[in-house]
């Protein structure tokens, strides 16, 4: 169970890092109800260090998940 959890977290971190590397900025749409703005548009701008940090941390976690022992069937 732990092996699968760490593998999933590492893979997710790697995917998020690749996405942050490819996208400079993401603008989330504003929410409108009955003609009134409920929530304004939000801009997500990842810092320059985020893509490489997420990729490297995700790779380390994936490699760690491969070193965890398999559960003994007994």
Give per-10-residue mean pLDDT for the chain (74 aa). Answer: 91 95 88 81 89 96 89 58
Report the length, in residues, of the chain: 74
pLDDT attached to residue 72: 55
> DSSP character for 34?
T
pLDDT at 69: 80
pLDDT at position 32: 82
Output the CA torsion sign for 61, 27, 45, 51.
positive
Is the CB of residue 17 less than 8 Å from the CB of residue 4? no
Query: What residue ranges do the domains of the chain occupy?
Result: 2-67
Q: How far apart are CA 34 and CA 21, in angstroms?
A: 37
> Can you give the pTM of this predicted structure?
0.74
């Amino acid at each position: 169970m732990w092996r699968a959890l760490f593998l999933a977290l590492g893979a997710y971190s790697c995917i998020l890092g690749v996405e942050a590397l490819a996208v400079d900025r993401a603008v989330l749409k504003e929410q409108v109800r009955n003609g009134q703005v409920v929530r304004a548009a939000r801009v997500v701008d990842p810092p320059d260090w985020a893509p490489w940090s997420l990729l490297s941390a995700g790779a380390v976690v994936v490699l760690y998940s491969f070193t965890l022992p398999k559960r003994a069937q007994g």
